[in-house]
Amino acid sequence: MFGCACLFPLTTPLVVGIAVAASAYAGRYGILAWNAFKARPATPVLRKFYQGGFQPQMTRREAALILGVRESTAQDKVREAYRKVMVANHPDAGGSHYLASKIGEAKDMMLKKTRNTDSAF
């Protein structure tokens, strides 16, 4: 009992010192982690593409959904969107001929061109 009373006054500064050092290291780590979090590159926004379920007669709304633009988008933006979607779905790159034809039809619809879809060829 007498031996413990003598060690207690000596261990208190040691415990306090260890606690201060641990909190300093934790604070330093927190600051470094926060700076790394702020410096990370912005994550790109993933765009959702039109999932399908095509209507028999394409509407302007459906064409805009296929190309990922608004119905009132300018023609140069429609052409740019067409290129992006067509690159992702081109038949030469493993895409579907049907999807490529629907994407082309959507571009024509948005650019107000007429396409005769009644042909068998």
Q: Which CATH class is domain 60-110?
A: mainly alpha
C-alpha distance from residue 119 to each of 54, 115, 116 (Å): 19, 10, 7
Residue 121: pLDDT band by 50, 70, 90 thresholds? very low
- Mean of pLDDT over the chain: 82
Q: Where are the domains of the chain?
A: 1-40, 60-110
Residue 54: pLDDT band by 50, 70, 90 thresholds? confident
Write down the pLDDT at residue 119. Answer: 47
Rounded CA-CA distance 11/16 in Å is 9
Write down the pLDDT at residue 5. Answer: 55
Higher pLDDT, 53 or 63: 63
User: 5-19, 43-57, 68-82, 105-119 — which is least confidently predicted?
Assistant: 43-57
pTM: 0.53
Q: With 70 as the cut, is the pLDDT of residue 81 above it?
A: yes
Q: Which of 88, 84, 52 is nearest to 69 (CA)?
A: 84
Q: Which of 66, 53, 50 is nearest to 103 (CA)?
A: 66
